[in-house]
Structure 1
Amino acid sequence: MTSILTNTSAMSALQALRNVNSNLSTTQNAVSSGLKVGKAADNVAYWSISTTMKSDNKALSAATDALGVGAAKVDTAYAAMDSAKDVVNEIKAKLTTASESSVDKTQVQLEIGKLQEQLSSIGQSASFSGENWVVKAAGSSTTVVDGFIRNSDGTVKITTASYEAGSYAMFSAISGGVGTGGVLGSVMSISLSATTTQGQIDTYMTTVETALKKLTKGAAAVGALSKRIEMQDTFSKQLSDAQKSGISRLVDANMEEESAKLSALQTQQQLAVQSLSIANSSSQQLLSLFRG
């Protein structure tokens, strides 16, 4: 039956066109944005997971940046310890020279005094971003941010690497430009005079040797921390790349697939428009029934 009030063919064609237009709009959005899941309505589960992963990845990126700051602090401390070791070796050489009976010990002390001043200068200068790891009170420690993790229960945590700075510090304090305490405090007390005996020089040599061993141990600890930071930095970058890849699998559109779908939908749209046109024209044919 043909009705002039209800055109079921046109209604069916129109519904088909609406469906095609809806799918075409979704595909065009995917092609233009590159995302198959751009909002929660597209896929609640994938959108939720990807949003959390993006947030975690951003935090991990910040932790990686913090590693760079930590690495700079470690490098500064190591440079100071390495330079101090060379200066202490020079003091050791001067004490050896002073052991010669014909040497003027007061002249040797002038050189040792300048070397002691250099040690204080090194300690005072080894500061990065306001933090000095080689001038620390005994027992103090410092930390470096090295990562961000999300636990299985959903809680998050910032991880750190610690360094017992107070145990390896060159000085515990610097007052009036002169370092005191710490690994090199005893070296700073070395003082030769014309009356200094060989026994006293031998004691100074023992003091210097002890300081060198502690400096070497401290430099080794800093070196180990530097390696730890370097490895963590590499891992963090790899982890960040893996997370980005995981997010991509969840929300990124397959451009080859979307391109093929777009072409098909455009063809379907043209056919649906043509079908609607045919359905609408059928009612016009009723007029011929009323022509005499």
Structure 2
Amino acid sequence: MSSILTNTSAMVALQTLNSTNKNLAMTTNEISTGKSVATARDNASIWAIAQTMQTDVDGFSGISDGLNTGSAAVAVARTAAETVTGLLGQVKEKIIAAQDPASDRAKLQTDIDQLVQQVGSVVDAAQFNGLNLVDGTNGSINVLASLNRDSSGNVTVANIQVSGQDLGSAAGTAPTGFFAVGNGTTSANGTSFGGIIDSGSGTNTLVLDSANFTAALGGEKISITIAGQTATYTVTANDMDTTNGSDPNTVIMSKVADKINSLGITGLVATMGTGAITLTNTGTIDFAFSGEITAPGAGGLSGLAGIDVNADAAGALAAIEPLIQTAIDASAAFGSAQARIDIQNEFVGKLTDSLKTGIGALVDADMEEASARLQALQVQQQLGIQSLSIANQAPQNVLSLFR
């Protein structure tokens, strides 16, 4: 039956042409964007996974920048430590020469004094963007190293801890009778201590006594090492100020407790009590902890100030050996840290490339396939237009019935 009101052939041809045009538009969009999944409308699940991975790639880019900065900072410190090691070697050479009774020890001492001053200059100048890892002002720094995502989607960051090394050569006298611990040992003069914090909610207490400070100017450095991590705090003049009614002990203890908590040791909590810091270990292993206080300006190489081949050539030789070892240990520590940072940076780069490859496999268009599909759809479009044209001419044939 022929009808001039309903053209079924035209309807079918039009539906086919619309479908072809839709597929052609999608293929053209794939070719222009290079993606088979460009928006959430294309494939919500794949798009969501790809976007999550892309945010991780962006995060790793920032981490790579942080690793580069950390590596540069440690490289400066390592170079300084190696330079100091070389200078101390020269000091040792002068000291050995002074062992000869016929040597001019006064002139050798003059050379030694100049070398000691150069050690101080190197240490003072070894800073990267204001960060100095060899002058004893930084107990440790954390270099952002990785972005970790678990199966639940929770994201955490991991750090590489780099311990500062004290290569300061200034001398000083630490206040005595400063430390006391609830369970452990304290040096005879009270400038250092050691102890254990038992696991399973075990506690220990640490008492600081500022009464024996020789002056209220501050500058004393307190170092507390727990589970291999070191918290460092330098006492300020404000800490010692009693004009506002504050208690220096309480002020200093509070700040030291904050420094300990900032280490982020799992299971360890430092809380302020009455006249003492209480250290609680809720973890499953015992924590060894120790500490010391050094006077303002006193450094790890403070023994250099006492070297005098005029007064005691043999004693000078005995004194230089541990100082050289201190510098060597610092150089090795920085070298190991820098090597680890560089390895992590290389890994992050490879991991980022792998993530980008994974994202591409999910959302990138297969250009060869898209090209072939485009040509096929263009032919289908032309045929669809021709078919619709033929179907639209069908009602014209009805006219012949009335001639």
Q: TM-score, normalised by structure 1?
A: 0.91
User: Percent of aligned pairs with the same residue?
Assistant: 38
Q: Summarize deviations over 1:40-72 as a string: whole Å, max 9, x none.
A: 010011000000000001101111121111111
Bigger CA drift: 107-116 or 26-35? 107-116
- Superposed, 1:88-237 pairs within 5 Å as 88-137=88-137, 140-165=139-164, 168-171=165-168, 180-193=297-310, 196=311, 200-237=312-349
Q: Structure 1: any 5+ residue segments left out of the alignment?
A: none
Counterpart position of 1:9: 9
**For 2:169 and 2:363, how far apart are their aligned partners in 1?**
55
Conserved 8 A contact 2:60-2:352: yes
Give the aligned partner of residue 267 of structure 2. none
- Higher Cα radius of gyration: 1
Do 2:171 and 2:305's aligned partners in 1 also have CA atoms closer than 8 Å?
no
Counterparts of 1:173 and 1:7, CA distance in 2: 102
Write the distance in 2 (CA, Å) between the matches of 1:31 and 1:42. 14
- For 1:246-288, what per-residue CA distance to the aligned partner results, in whole angstroms no more than 9, with x for missing partners? 1011000111111111111111111110000000011112222
**Cα distance, 1:172 vs structure 2:** 8.3
Please list the CA deviations of residues 8-61 of structure 1 after superposition, one character each: whole Å capped at 9, or x if unmatched: 111111011000000000011001111000000100110000000000011011
Q: Which residue of 1 aligns with 2:71?
A: 71
The answer to which structure has the higher helix fraction is: 1
**Secondary structure of the corresponding residue to residue 38 of structure 1:** coil
Deviates more, 1:182-191 or 1:233-242: 182-191
- For 1:164 and 1:229, locate their aligned partners in 2 and report how far apart those are by CA, in whole Å: 13
1:192: Cα distance to partner?
A: 4.6
Give the distance between the partners of 2:11 and 2:160, measured in 1 at CA.
69
Distance 2:90 2:387 in 1: 97
**Residue-by-residue CA offset, 1:190-224 (whole Å, 9 max, x unaligned):** 2454xx1xxx2222222210011111111111111
SS in 2 for 1:5: coil
1:257 alignment partner, one of 369, 374, 391? 369
Give the match's secondary structure for 1:209.
Answer: helix
Match of 2:393?
A: 281
The Cα offsets for residues 135-155 of structure 1, whole Å up to 9 and x where unpaired, read as 1248x1112111112122211
Counterparts of 1:164 and 1:39, CA distance in 2: 47
Alpha-carbon distance between aligned partners in 1 of 2:155 and 2:169, rounded to the nearest angstrom: 36
Change beyond 3 A, Cα 1:156–1:203: same
**Could you tell me the TM-score, scaled by structure 2's length?**
0.66
CA-based RMSD of the aligned residues comes to 1.9
Q: Distance in 2 between matches of 1:246 and 1:24?
A: 27
Gapped regions of structure 2 (runs ≥ 5): 173-295
1:190 and 1:68 map into 2 onto residues whose CA distance is: 39
Q: Tell me the amino acid that sits aligned with residue 35 of structure 1.
A: K
Indicate conservation of the 8 Å contact 1:120/1:174, yes or no: no
Larger RCO, structures 1/2 (Cα 8 Å, 6+ apart): 1
Distance 1:133 1:72 in 2: 12
Instruction: Give the Cα–Cα distance (whole angstroms) in 1 for the partners of residues 107 and 339 of structure 2.
Output: 43
Give the partner amino acid of 1:207.
A
Following TM superposition, the consecutive aligned residue runs of length 4 or more in structure 1 with deviations greater than 4 angstroms are: 172-175
Which structure is higher in strand share? 2
| Residues paired across the two proteins, number | 280
